[in-house]
Structures are given as structure tokens and as C-alpha cells.
């Protein structure tokens, strides 16, 4: 990825980490943006494609990790802001449906 147009990080507080349901939500949201978006469990990577559920789940990010985002493209800033927002809102998970997380 060339120099990112936007980047940011957020503490992953979801009760069980970046599991199936949160990963599905995150990749679905990422795909709504034209920018290419990378995600990493630390500031030094490894950077993975935020639009690939296989890669995002494969990273097996536990709760308590800082998720780092970087994006390149027209809507890069909006993409990073939206993804951080999703994590901050705990993936819009209600306690009632977090069990199968």
C-alpha cells in the first residue's frame, strides 16, 4: 500500500475478540467503501485486507488488542472513521445476541 490517506486505531473491547459475527460486520462495512483498507492487530502489522473475512478471521485478534486501520483512496478518511465507529459501538452487538459472537 502506498502512503495511506487515512489511518487510525481503536481498542477492541468486544467481549470475545474479533470473532465470527464482528468479523462479518467489519468486512461487510469495509466493502461498502471504494478505498483499499488494511487492518492490523498492531502498529507494525501484519497488515491484512479488511474486506476479506478469511484474512480478518485468520488474524484471530483477541479482545483487548488495538485494531489499526489504514486506507488509500477517495473515501479513505470516511472508511477509517466508519470502521473505528463500528468497533467503538462494540459492533452494534446487543448483549442478547453476543453469545454466538
Partner 1 sequence: MIPPPTPQAVEHRGRPAAPGVAAGPLVRLDRTVARRKASNDPRKECEDLRAAVAAAIAEICELAGKVGGDGADILEFQIAMLEDDVLIAPALDRISAGSDAVSAWTAALAAQIADYEATEDDYFRARSADLRDIGDRIVRHLAGEAEAATPEGAVLAGEDVTPSRFLSVDWSKGGGLALRAGSPSSHVAMLARSRGVPMVVALGAIDLDGHATVIVDGDAGLVVLSPGEREWAAFRTARATSEARGAREAEAAMKPAKTADGVAVSVMINVADPDELDRLDPAISDGVGLVRSEFLFHGPAGLPDEEAQYRAYRRILEWAAPKPVVIRTLDAGGDKPIDGLTIDGESNPFLGTRGIRLSLAKPEIFKVQIRAILRAAVHGNAKVMLPMVTVPDEIDAAAALFDEAMHDLIEAGAACRMPPLGIMVEVPAVAVAPALFARAAFFSIGSNDLTQYVTASARDIAAVAALNDPAHPAVMSLIANVVRVGREIGRDVSLCGDMGGDPAHLPALVAAGLRTVSVAPPLVGRAKLAIAAIGAAP
Residues near partner 1 (CB under 8 A) are 11, 13, 15-17, 19-21, 23-24, 27-28, 49, 52-55, 57-58, 60, 62-65, 95-101
Shortest CB 40 distance to partner 1, Å: 15
Shortest CB 52 distance to partner 1, Å: 5
Nearest Cα to Cα of residue 80 among 10, 2, 1, 3:
10
Q: Which is nearer to partner 1, 64 or 74 (CB)?
A: 64
Instruction: Report H helices in the chain.
Output: 20-31, 53-58, 76-88
Q: How far from each other are the two terminal CA atoms of the chain, in whole angstroms? A: 31
Cis ω for the linkage preceding 46 (within 30 of 0):
yes
Shortest CB 72 distance to partner 1, Å: 19
Q: Which is nearer to partner 1, 45 or 62 (CB)?
A: 62
Shortest CB 15 distance to partner 1, Å: 6
Nearest Cα to Cα of residue 42 among 10, 17, 66, 71:
66
Q: Which is nearer to partner 1, 57 or 78 (CB)?
A: 57
Amino acid at each position: 500500500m502506498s502512503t495511506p490517506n487515512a489511518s487510525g486505531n481503536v481498542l477492541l473491547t468486544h467481549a470475545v475478540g474479533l470473532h465470527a459475527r464482528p468479523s462479518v460486520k467489519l468486512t461487510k462495512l469495509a466493502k461498502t467503501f471504494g478505498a483499499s483498507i488494511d487492518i492490523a492487530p498492531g502498529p507494525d502489522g501484519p497488515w491484512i485486507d479488511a474486506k476479506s473475512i478469511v484474512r480478518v478471521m485468520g488474524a484471530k485478534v483477541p479482545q483487548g488488542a488495538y485494531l489499526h486501520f489504514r486506507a488509500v483512496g477517495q473515501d479513505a478518511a470516511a472508511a477509517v472513521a466508519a470502521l473505528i465507529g463500528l468497533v467503538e459501538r462494540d459492533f452494534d452487538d446487543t448483549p442478547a445476541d453476543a453469545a454466538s459472537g
